[in-house]
């Protein structure tokens, strides 16, 4: 490929992609992937569900991307865990209906359909990061349930599936990880983590370590380890598109 015209990779997602209240996996990608081969555009919006990503898809299509990665659904899955979360997400994101897994499937399928019809991009759907870090918990199981729906959608539409949920679960199992705190409804853990990061200037990794967490800062947003697993998968996909070797992280090795 002409080094003056690198492949344009657009990463569509929520706060995990935005990288303000979560370790920045796009920053990891930009440091690792040669700028002569790839340029990245961050299309993550804090709090978005699949429905919200669908509403702003015109701006993604207008970029005429060569590659699109989609990491969306964490807020859909989180909302489904309690009535409190449903009310919170419906109000915050002005949803027209109660978020359910069937509605998630409908919206993500529409995202994939538009991307495949209206762009020439190679498309990859990532499964969800783990919700919580306690193996067997309802939150972890829910992230796996929504991830299974993502895999079904990718297979039905002929786009690539990137097994993020599976890799993160494997990481937790290999470490025999027992989190220092348990998953909680609402936004308290996230708000406290944001305060520690932006006011007290603590790193995301320090916040995670103090809470006894391996991949996240607050059971949702990623620390460096969690973000690196995301970056590894996206880098592998980009390499498969471009046919170049990619330096892996120590986590992947």
For CA atoms 184, 201, 231, 252, give the dihedral sign. Answer: negative
Q: Write down the pTM of the prediction.
A: 0.94
What pLDDT was estimated at residue 3?
A: 53
pLDDT for 186: 76
In this prediction, residue 1 carries a pLDDT of: 47
Q: Residue 43 and residue 35: Cα distance in Å, rounded? A: 18
Give the pLDDT score at 242: 74
Question: Which residues, given as ranges, of the chain have pLDDT below 70?
Answer: 1-4, 244-253
Question: Which residue segments constitute the domains of the chain, with CATH numbers given?
Answer: 7-242 (3.40.50.1110)
Q: What is the pLDDT of residue 4?
A: 67
Exposed / middle / buried, residue 117 (Cβ in 10 Å: 0-12, 13-18, 19+):
exposed
**Residue among 150, 204, 179, 148 nearest 15 (CA):** 204
Sheet holding 122-126, edge to edge: 38-44, 7-13, 67-71, 122-126, 160-162
Residue-wise pLDDT for 159-186, tens only, equals: 999 999 999 999 999 999 999 999 887 7
Q: Which residues, other chains included, contact 39 with Cβ-Cβ below 8 Å and sequence gap of 6+?
A: 6, 7, 8, 9
Eight-state DSSP code of residue 222: B
């Amino acid at each position: 490929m002409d080094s003056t015209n690198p492949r344009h990779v657009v990463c569509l997602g929520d706060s995990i992609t935005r990288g303000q209240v979560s370790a920045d996996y796009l920053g990891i990608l930009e440091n690792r992937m040669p700028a002569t081969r790839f340029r990245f555009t961050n299309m993550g919006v804090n709090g978005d569900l699949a429905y919200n990503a669908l509403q702003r898809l015109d701006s993604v299509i207008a970029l005429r991307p060569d590659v699109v990665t989609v990491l969306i659904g964490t807020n859909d899955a989180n909302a489904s865990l309690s009535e409190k979360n449903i009310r919170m997400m419906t109000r915050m994101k002005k949803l027209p209906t109660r978020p359910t897994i069937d509605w998630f499937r409908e919206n993500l399928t529409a995202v994939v359909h538009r991307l495949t019809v209206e762009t020439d991009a190679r498309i990859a759907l990532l499964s969800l990061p783990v919700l919580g870090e306690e193996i067997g918990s309802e939150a972890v199981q829910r992230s796996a349930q929504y991830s299974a729906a993502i895999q079904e959608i990718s297979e039905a539409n002929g786009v690539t599936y990137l097994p993020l949920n599976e890799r993160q679960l494997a990481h937790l199992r290999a470490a025999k990880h027992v989190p220092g705190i348990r998953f909680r409804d609402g936004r308290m853990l996230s708000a406290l983590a944001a305060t520690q990061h932006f006011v007290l200037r603590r790193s995301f990794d320090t916040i995670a370590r103090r809470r006894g967490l391996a991949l996240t800062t607050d059971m949702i947003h990623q620390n460096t380890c969690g973000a690196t697993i995301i970056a590894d998968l996206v880098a592998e996909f980009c390499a498969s598109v471009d046919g170049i070797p990619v330096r892996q992280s120590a986590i992947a090795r």
